[in-house]
Amino acid sequence: MKRLRCCCAHEKDRISNLPDLIRSRIISFLPIKDAVRSTILSRRWGKICSTLSKLKFRQSDFPAKSGERIQRRFDFRNFVDRMLILHDGSDVETFSLCANVDGQVIKSHNVNVWFTFALQHNVKELSFSSKNLEKLPCSLFTCTTLTVLSLLHSPDLKWPTTIKLPALKSLELRSVNFDNENVINNLFSSFSCPVLEYLSVMHCSLHNIRNISISIPSLKFIMLQYKDDLNVSLTCPTLQKIHYLSNIAPVISSEDLSSILSAHFQFHEPNISSNDKSGSSFHNSASTILKGLCNVRTLDLGSGFIEVRLFFLSFS
């Protein structure tokens, strides 16, 4: 037994002796609260937490019991502040924030300070999910290093008039609002996002907007899902995959359709007659889509698409 204890005492801590780069990589896979807990292992582990390139903060990691909600909000806010203060100043690869902006403990000012930190450290991937926030830093929408942007569940967010994201390749918008047709058309253009490849727009409210033009030559994947009666025009010559759920069929040229390899279309069209102009327009768009998908490998058509198509074929 004594000999065994001696062996254990001389056993090396191999993980702690790994190079900083490898240990930093290991820590990056942990939730940030667990990563911070690792600092108790040794001084070297404490240093690793100050070099993290992936910063993901979730308020749900600070659950509150009855009577503790306000204090836990303070705990979360102070945790984020401390992590950013102790950061060594190296570049931030990923910055993710999921929090409730309550206006009392976590305010718009706090969120803007946190985002400004990420932008000043050349962030590449940024994700934000929160209600009750109206404004984000203007520098976010002109960031030259950002490649991935996800804005989720932020219905009160106000969009700036100037948007220029030269490195952005992936844009996800879910449950956000637009009330200016020029702003949304500018966002979905090669001028604002010249190298965008992935675009997902789901459950967004589009107030007073009737026409959307998406003109991005580099776009390869698009997902559009909304309830508004919108006229959508797509100019995306390298598009490979489309997932489209709406009331009105989009306008897509046969040239753009020919590049699509995977397509899903689902439409919810109201009751129509053979003399219904909206139904006739829907039928024409549906016909163009079917004829243009000459190279498609995977095709999924919803019942609404097929019903209207068959209805008008019966009158031809």
pLDDT digits (tens, 9 = 90+) for 65-99: 777 888 999 999 999 999 999 898 999 999 999 99
* pLDDT surpasses 60 at 7: no
Question: Is 229 among the domain residues?
Answer: no
Q: Given a cut of 80, is residue 309 above it in pLDDT?
A: no
The string of pLDDT tens digits covering residues 175-224 is 999 989 999 999 999 999 999 999 999 999 888 888 999 999 999 999 99
Q: What is the mean pLDDT of residues 283-294?
A: 81
Residue 29 lies in a domain: yes
Domain contains 314: no
β strands within 107-248, DSSP E: 125-129, 148-154, 170-178, 198-202, 205-206, 211-215, 221-225, 231-235, 241-246
pLDDT of residue 15: 63
Mean local confidence (pLDDT), 16-28 = 67
| Close Cβ partners of 267 (under 8 Å, ≥ 6 residues apart) | 245, 246, 247, 248, 249, 282, 286, 302, 304, 305, 308
User: Higher-confidence residue: 249 or 1?
Assistant: 249
162 falls within a domain: no
In a domain, 27, yes or no: yes
24 found inside a domain: yes
Secondary structure class of 55 (helix, strand, coil): strand
Q: Name the pLDDT band for 129 (thresholds 50, 70, 90).
A: very high
Taking each helix axis as running N to C, give the angle between helix 69-85 and helix 108-120, from 0 to 180 degrees, rounded to the nearest 10. 20
Residue span of the structural domain in which 44 resides: 13-52
C-alpha to C-alpha distance for 46 and 10, rounded to whole angstroms = 23
**20 within some domain:** yes
Residue 41 has pLDDT above 70, yes or no: no
Non-local (6+) Cβ contacts of 156 within 8 A are 131, 132, 133, 134, 177
Give me the pLDDT at residue 199, please. Answer: 98
Number of domains in the chain: 1
Task: Kindly report the average pLDDT of the chain as a whole number.
Answer: 83
